[in-house]
C-alpha cells in the first residue's frame, strides 16, 4: 500500500467495515485500486459460505480451536451457495458445483437434510436427486 500512496489505516478500516458480516470466519478480501482509491470486496470461500449458512454465533478464533460444526442445511441452501460459487467453480454444470459444496459440507462436518453429504452426492450421481441447471 505504501508505494501506491494509500493510507494503510484507511484501507484497514475499509476492510474491517466490509468484513463485518463475516465475524470469526477466515475470508479472502480483494483490493481494487484505481486513481489512489481502494475499493474492498469480500470473496468468500465455499467453507465460509457453508458455515455462515449454519447461522452459528460468532466465535473468537484465538480462544476456541477445532470446533465441530454439527448443524443441518437443506438442499435448497446448498444450491443457493453453489449459485454464488458457480463462477469460481471448475464444473460445467450446476450439479457439479453442488457436489463440490456437498464435499465442503462433509469436511466442515454438517449434515444436509439430516443425512450425510456424501449420500446426497451418491444420489446426484445415481440420478435420484436432480439439480436444476439454472
pLDDT by residue for the chain (134 residues), tens only, comes to 667 778 888 888 888 888 887 777 778 888 888 887 888 888 878 777 777 777 766 665 555 555 666 777 777 888 888 888 887 877 788 778 888 888 887 887 788 777 787 787 787 777 776 677 65
For cell 454465533, name the residue. Answer: 57
Residue of 117, 133, 29 whose CA lies nearest to 83: 133
The pLDDT score that the predictor gives to residue 68 is 64
User: Within a 13 Å sphere around the CA of 114, how many CA atoms are in the beta-carbon half?
Assistant: 0
The pLDDT score that the predictor gives to residue 121 is 79
The DSSP call for residue 73 is E
Phi/psi of residue 133, each to 5°?
Answer: -85, 0
Give the pTM: 0.70
Residue of 88, 86, 89, 90 whose CA lies nearest to 132: 86
d(CA 124, CA 73): 17
The pLDDT score that the predictor gives to residue 127 is 73
Amino acid at each position: 500500500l505504501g508505494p501506491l500512496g494509500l493510507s494503510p489505516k484507511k484501507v484497514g478500516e475499509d476492510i474491517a467495515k466490509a468484513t463485518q458480516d463475516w465475524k470469526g470466519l477466515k475470508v479472502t478480501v480483494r483490493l481494487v485500486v484505481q486513481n489512489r482509491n481502494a475499493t474492498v470486496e469480500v470473496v468468500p470461500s465455499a467453507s465460509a459460505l457453508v458455515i455462515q449458512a449454519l447461522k452459528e454465533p460468532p466465535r473468537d478464533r484465538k480462544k476456541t480451536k477445532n470446533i465441530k460444526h454439527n448443524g443441518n442445511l437443506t438442499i435448497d441452501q446448498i444450491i443457493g451457495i453453489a449459485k454464488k460459487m458457480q463462477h469460481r467453480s471448475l464444473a460445467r454444470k450446476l450439479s457439479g458445483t453442488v457436489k463440490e459444496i456437498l464435499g465442503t459440507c462433509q469436511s466442515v462436518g454438517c449434515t444436509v437434510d439430516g443425512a450425510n453429504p456424501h449420500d446426497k452426492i451418491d444420489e446426484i450421481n445415481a440420478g435420484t436427486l436432480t439439480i436444476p441447471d439454472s
